[in-house]
Chains A and B, each alone.
Chain A
């Protein structure tokens, strides 16, 4: 980096036009990886004198390079690691040349650090795979290539290092190249390049070496400066996952995010997921002015023509180009946690600005990262990788990772420790719908106890309601049936799952041997209560309208259903009203043709503990009152 040829103004103007290349290096100290990076930084003059002085001092004290400067020491950051002589975590390095700025994710090479390499490689455009020319393609080479490919890194540079130790032999270079090429055909890396070099001596690192006249390609740095990566992003499929809803005042409503893929243009027709509502892009706003279009990874704010309810996690897309919207998918999963996978855990899943719950339904197979062989396995341990089936509580809007890194990637978070315990890449294949759900140990316990595998909170989440019972008591002819039937209709229209338990239908079937004596009335209500209980357990709301004439009967019903999900309402109609409304039965009772009619020859106890009391002539108001009551008590809707 020299400034003498340009004046500083020109230099800065030119420098600010540079682009950015993110690259991954993986390897151990023995490969000379750190030496290579140190050399790149040193030769591109990114080291300051005090850093160099410290480097020379450290080289003598703890270095592994004899009398030479140990460039590796420059990179190994933390104290304990320096003493052990290994790089443990991912370290990020920065250097730039006149053409580009580079961010290196520098990761350790051993198998126990697979998760670190995965972490470092997730944002990389390019991976450098280091091979020691003396050893050729080894297990580690295969592993690193597989992981780079898994992460969807499109460009691979195979740096065949330590050429000085094999006399800069072209034959050796070709051997390794052929061996690697044979292996890499099993994977689909689109762009593979081979460069022979010596990191320690500096051959083909920055300058092309005169020691290998048979090699006509670029040096490593020349290659890195020129490799074309800007077209690697997906510019085809608009995915705009809303990250933040901007509402500075009542008039302005903006939806902010970093464009995940595709191009969003002013005037575009867009569809909102999951509501499927459509609108047009009114403006694309940034602090530096409005834009006509925005592309990944720009962070912008969009306003729409229509007022649509949109929250974080919703996605704007073009209506003719939709992602998959599903609750189940298959993915390649990397287990990152010290704690083994537990299949009965409900994880948090974070995907495209959305967080919901997820379960691993099934493990299809585990991949041996060294041999690429697949095997069956019960659960994953740290650093293990394989294919799984995942089901989420809410649908996700996703694409296969190969097509779209942004909408194809997710992390799983442990619900207890909150650690990021796994990361995944969604596969381009529909999950088979009839896949048997995996039965875990806790599941077995539930089955033995006769408990459903679906927990009540899962049902509540899905149905957006609690399975509870609305019980309307009142005299015969009080108008409670009219209220109950119109309530069922109303709840259906509002999207609830509610069932009306109709007394006369039951009496023609389930309770047909029962009469209207107090004892049989009690037995009838016991059966009704059990039906309600079963339906409520399934998450369904039940609506019952029964005379249920006294406190003790109503208590028994509440006991069976569960007191906290029994909501008692009272239809308060005068006997005169009832007689006028349904004269038939009352006339018979008064003539003695019918016995045991509450209000006539049986006492009706007015409930003292009813949650709501209605007057029959106010049917519409009564319905609204019930809906308000259900909403306030979070019976329906919950959200």
Chain B
């Protein structure tokens, strides 16, 4: 490597910063969707880098399904406060008041009402014309084809057959009123890149990613943590302490843990390279039907 070449991570970083700045320059009212997960944490750091020494010129929005792990919410609030972010938290009030939740309504209804619908409400309420998401193309098959600037019609729908061509680093940011663009600045990152970057940059992440003794119930083969008393009593009674960690974070009843001793990033990567199950299988919603992510994305989910 000569003195004018970048490593993979630095090249990905430069690309992401370029994308983030482009959105700030081209759109009137962008927002960064913040899921509190590790990918979001990386994206948020990249935004801080893009506008340093200035403040990031757009807010963070967290779509709270009201079933996230408590540690996530705590982490979110601390991070936003310490790093001086404008944080918007939106939840589906109607769904919340009618008591929608995964235990009572099943994962499909819960996800639709408290995640997809809540997201669309949030985007409509603030009239955002661009929304950053932390999705990666290596996560899942339908994502592999999605553009970095992904056009959504006024109903927030994605049309996989009719995507705008996207060449070089020239992004088409033209939208009519009501239409919007979802932007994925870390499209080209892999799971390993994310961990490497977190390690390199000392990016804080929710402690749930690290192995620890936690109260766990086995449900249909998934290891579900008891995070509050909304889990039915008969399930809670079966809880046993197990040393586990989470590879992805979401609603606690829908997020399976894995048995693990990995309590440092190094150990997590080591485990990742030897563990032979891909990341999304710990997300319960993927099992609903084949190509279910594509379906959800067509409906407006990220």
Chain A interface residue count, Cβ-Cβ cutoff 8 angstroms: 76
Of A119, A256, A258, A312, which is within 8 A of B167 by CB? A119
Contacts A89-B163, A94-B190, A243-B18 hold; do A413 and B174 have CB atoms under 8 A apart?
A: yes
Q: Are A248 and B54 in contact (CB under 8 A)?
A: yes
Q: Are B274 and A3 in contact (CB under 8 A)?
A: yes
Of A49, A235, A246, which is within 8 A of B51 by CB? A246
Residue-wise interface mask of A (508-525) relative to B, using a CB-CB cutoff of 8 A (1 in contact, 0 not): 000000000000000000
* Residues of the A chain whose Cβ atoms lie less than 8 Å from the Cβ of B200: 16
Contacts A50-B278, A119-B167, A409-B170 hold; do A101 and B267 have CB atoms under 8 A apart?
A: no
Most chain-A Cβ atoms within 10 A of its Cβ — which of B138, B144, B192? B144
Q: Are A244 and B21 in contact (CB under 8 A)?
A: yes
Q: Report B168 CB to chain A, min CB distance, Å.
A: 5
**Cα A115 to Cα B166 with chains together (Å):** 10
Q: Are A92 and B188 in contact (CB under 8 A)?
A: yes
Q: Are A49 and B196 in contact (CB under 8 A)?
A: no
**Cα A231 to Cα B4 with chains together (Å):** 8
Contacts A12-B196, A77-B144 hold; do A94 and B138 have CB atoms under 8 A apart?
A: yes
Q: Are A79 and B290 in contact (CB under 8 A)?
A: yes
Residue-wise interface mask of A (208-232) relative to B, using a CB-CB cutoff of 8 A (1 in contact, 0 not): 0000000000000000000000110
Is the CB of A420 closer than 8 A to any CB of chain B? yes
Q: Are A287 and B49 in contact (CB under 8 A)?
A: yes
**Cα A369 to Cα B142 with chains together (Å):** 30
* Residues of the A chain whose Cβ atoms lie less than 8 Å from the Cβ of B239: none
Q: Are B199 and A91 in contact (CB under 8 A)?
A: no
Is the CB of A192 closer than 8 A to any CB of chain B? no
The stretch among B8-16, B33-41, B85-93 that forms the contact with chain A is: B8-16
**Cα A548 to Cα B63 with chains together (Å):** 69
B residues 130-167 with Cβ under 8 Å of A?
137-138, 141-142, 144-145, 160-161, 163-167
Interface of A is mostly: mixed
Is the CB of A348 closer than 8 A to any CB of chain B? yes
* Residues of the B chain whose Cβ atoms lie less than 8 Å from the Cβ of A409: 167-168, 170
Is the CB of A24 closer than 8 A to any CB of chain B? no
Is the CB of A299 closer than 8 A to any CB of chain B? yes
Is the CB of B83 closer than 8 A to any CB of chain A? no
Is the CB of A17 closer than 8 A to any CB of chain B? yes
Is the CB of A168 closer than 8 A to any CB of chain B? no
Q: Are B54 and A246 in contact (CB under 8 A)?
A: yes
Q: Report A78 CB to chain B, min CB distance, Å.
A: 5
Is the CB of A494 closer than 8 A to any CB of chain B? no
Residue-wise interface mask of B (20-40) relative to A, using a CB-CB cutoff of 8 A (1 in contact, 0 not): 011011000000000000000
Of B52, B161, B176, B196, which is within 8 A of A285 by CB? B52
B residues 242-273 with Cβ under 8 Å of A?
266-267, 269-270, 273
Q: Are A8 and B18 in contact (CB under 8 A)?
A: no
Q: Residue of A at shortest CB range from B271?
A: A8
A residues 100-150 with Cβ under 8 Å of B?
100-101, 103, 115, 118-119, 122-123
Q: Are A230 and B5 in contact (CB under 8 A)?
A: yes
Is the CB of A406 closer than 8 A to any CB of chain B? yes
Q: Report B9 CB to chain A, min CB distance, Å.
A: 6
Is the CB of A341 closer than 8 A to any CB of chain B? no
Contacts A48-B277, A287-B49 hold; do A299 and B291 have CB atoms under 8 A apart?
A: no
Q: Are A301 and B4 in contact (CB under 8 A)?
A: no
* Residues of the A chain whose Cβ atoms lie less than 8 Å from the Cβ of B14: 258, 297-299
Q: Residue of B at shortest CB range from A76?
A: B141
**Cα A312 to Cα B176 with chains together (Å):** 22
Q: Report B216 CB to chain A, min CB distance, Å.
A: 21
* Residues of the B chain whose Cβ atoms lie less than 8 Å from the Cβ of A93: 138, 144
Is the CB of A569 closer than 8 A to any CB of chain B? no
Chain B interface residue count, Cβ-Cβ cutoff 8 angstroms: 69
Contacts A12-B269, A411-B172 hold; do A230 and B1 have CB atoms under 8 A apart?
A: yes
Contacts A258-B169, A286-B49 hold; do A77 and B199 have CB atoms under 8 A apart?
A: no
* Residues of the B chain whose Cβ atoms lie less than 8 Å from the Cβ of A50: 276-278, 281
Most chain-B Cβ atoms within 10 A of its Cβ — which of A9, A19, A406? A19
Contacts A16-B9, A77-B142 hold; do A418 and B175 have CB atoms under 8 A apart?
A: yes
Q: Report B15 CB to chain A, min CB distance, Å.
A: 7
Q: Report B268 CB to chain A, min CB distance, Å.
A: 10
Q: Report A95 CB to chain B, min CB distance, Å.
A: 9
Is the CB of A423 closer than 8 A to any CB of chain B? yes
Q: Are A19 and B54 in contact (CB under 8 A)?
A: no
Q: Report A517 CB to chain B, min CB distance, Å.
A: 59
Q: Are A92 and B290 in contact (CB under 8 A)?
A: no
Q: Are B170 and A410 in contact (CB under 8 A)?
A: yes
Of B141, B175, B176, B266, which is within 8 A of A12 by CB? B266
Q: Report A19 CB to chain B, min CB distance, Å.
A: 6
Is the CB of B44 closer than 8 A to any CB of chain A? no
Q: Report B204 CB to chain A, min CB distance, Å.
A: 16
**Cα A536 to Cα B300 with chains together (Å):** 51
Q: Are B277 and A418 in contact (CB under 8 A)?
A: no
Q: Residue of A at shortest CB range from B189?
A: A94
Q: Are B7 and A418 in contact (CB under 8 A)?
A: no
**Cα A16 to Cα B266 with chains together (Å):** 13
Of B25, B160, B291, which is within 8 A of A312 by CB? B25
Residue-wise interface mask of A (474-491) relative to B, using a CB-CB cutoff of 8 A (1 in contact, 0 not): 000000000000000000
Most chain-A Cβ atoms within 10 A of its Cβ — which of B54, B145, B192? B145
Q: Are A19 and B25 in contact (CB under 8 A)?
A: no
**Cα A350 to Cα B50 with chains together (Å):** 22
**Cα A570 to Cα B170 with chains together (Å):** 53
Q: Residue of B at shortest CB range from A88?
A: B161
Q: Residue of A at shortest CB range from B193?
A: A101
**Cα A96 to Cα B161 with chains together (Å):** 29
* Residues of the A chain whose Cβ atoms lie less than 8 Å from the Cβ of B111: none
Of A77, A252, A257, A420, which is within 8 A of B164 by CB? A420
Of A100, A252, A286, A298, which is within 8 A of B54 by CB? A252
Q: Report A2 CB to chain B, min CB distance, Å.
A: 8
Q: Which 4 A-B pairs have the closest CB atoms?
A: A248-B54, A299-B17, A122-B167, A48-B278
Q: Can you name 14 extra interface pairs (CB under 8 A) apart from A77-B142, A89-B160, A256-B51?
A: A3-B274, A8-B269, A11-B270, A12-B196, A17-B1, A78-B160, A90-B145, A91-B144, A103-B188, A119-B165, A230-B4, A285-B52, A353-B22, A420-B166
User: What are 8 A-B pairs at a CB distance below 8 A?
Assistant: A12-B266, A78-B294, A92-B137, A230-B2, A299-B17, A299-B18, A418-B176, A419-B164
B residues lining the A interface (CB < 8 Å): 1-2, 4-15, 17-18, 21-22, 24-25, 48-55, 137-138, 141-142, 144-145, 160-161, 163-170, 172, 174-176, 187-188, 190, 192-193, 196, 199-200, 266-267, 269-270, 273-274, 276-278, 281, 290-291, 294
